[in-house]
Amino acid sequence: MLDFSFTPSQEEYRQTLRRLALEKLLPRYAEGDEERYPHEQIREISAFAEEFWRGREDEWDLITCGITAEEVARGDFNCVLPSLGRPYHSQFLADFSPAQHERWSDDLATGREMIALAITEPDAGSDMAKLSARAERRGDGWVIHGVKNSVSFLDAGVFYVFARTDPKASGWQGISGFLVPRDTPGLSFDPYDDLGCRAIPRGTLRMEGVEVPGDAMVGPPGTAFVRISRFFDVNRAVIGLKCIGAALQSVAETMEYAGKREAFGRPLSANQGVTFPLAEGVTYLDHARLGCYRVLWMRQSGIPCQHEGAMVKWWAPKTAAEVIHKCLTLRGHYGYSKALPLQQRLRDVIGWQIGDGAEEVMKLLVVRELGTGVATS
C-alpha cells in the first residue's frame, strides 16, 4: 500500500523545527527586507539539524530536506536553501572531486559558507544552448570570460560557473562547470535592487580573464548540463515546498485573526466569504505539497522525475502566491502594511515563480513529456 506518513524521527524533527522556526526565525524575518543576510539564523538551523540527525544519518534523506524547506519557510523564507543540510548538498555536489569535497562540503552543508550557481546569462536563461561564457585552456588551467546575470547569493564564497569549453560543440554539449572562489582576480559584482528575497543578494557576475587551476573543473569536461539537470528536479520540489510553507503559515495566521476579530456581531471566521477561500487555498496547497514530496521520493528511489518536477515547480509557487495574496486582502489595509509579514512573503514567493525556471518553461517540459508534438525550440 501507499504510505504518505513521515517516519517517527521525521515527525519529531518536523514538530521541533516548526517551533524553532516560529520562535527564533519569524520574529526576525522582517530584517531580511533591510538586506541583512541571516547568517546567525542559518547557522542555528544547520546546527540543530546536525545534532538531531547525529547517529541516525541513514534517516536524514531528501524527504527530510523537504520537511526542512517547508518548516523553515514558516519562519524565514530566506533561510531555507542554505539550511537544507547534507542530503541536499549530496545531490548538488554529487560530482565534486574528493579534493573539492574536502575544501567545501562541510562549510556548505553547515551554513558557514554559501555557493552560488552561475548559469543564466543576459541572452541565455533557460536555454542553455545559447550559453556564451567561455573557458579557454592556458597551461594546466583555464581562463574564463563572460557575464552571468540573475545570480542568487551574490555574496557567496564560491561560484559554480558554467562556461563553454568546446567551441565546436553545439547546444548544451561542450559546457563545463568550474568552482571559482570569490576572491579570484577578475570577478566583479553588480547587485540588483529586487522586489523580494532582499536578504539574499542577487545580481550580475562579470568574469574578465578569470584564471582557475585545472582541478577547479567539476566532473569531466563538457558534461556540466547533463550533471546539473539531475539536481534540478530536487531543487524544484524544494522550491515548491518552501513556497507552500510560507503560504500555510499565512493561512494559520489569518485563521487565528478571523477567529478573534468580530464584525456585525460575530467572528469573521463564521462568514463563508472569509473561510471558504482559505479552505480552497489549503486544498490546492495540500495537493501541491504531496506532489513535491512525490518528486523527492522518486529522486531518492532512482525514478526519473523531470516531468513531475516541472509540474510542481510552476504549480506550487503560483498557488502559494495566490493564497498569500488572499490572506493579505482578508486582513485589509493592515495586511498591506509592513506591520505583518504577509506582504513580504508575497514578494518573496513571487520571485520563485521565475527563479529556477519560469512557469512557461516548466509547462514546455510537461508538454514535451506528454508527446503532443508541440514545438519546444
Domains of the chain: 8-109 (1.10.540.10), 115-218 (2.40.110.10), 226-370 (1.20.140.10)
Q: Render pLDDT for 73-103 as a digit per residue (tens, 0 to 9).
A: 999 999 999 999 999 999 999 999 999 999 9
Rounded to an integer, what distance in angstroms lies between the CA atom of residue 130 and that of residue 132?
A: 6
Question: What is this structure's pTM?
Answer: 0.94
Query: Residue 322: is its pLDDT beyond 90?
Result: yes
Contact 325, 39 (CB under 8 A): no
Q: Render pLDDT for 7-44 as a digit per residue (tens, 0 to 9).
A: 999 999 999 999 999 999 999 999 999 999 999 999 99
Sign of CA dihedral 132, 136, 141, 145: negative
Contact 129, 98 (CB under 8 A): no
Indicate the pLDDT class of residue 118, thresholds 50, 70 and 90.
Answer: very high
What average pLDDT does the segment 200-209 reach?
A: 97
| End-to-end CA gap in the chain | 41
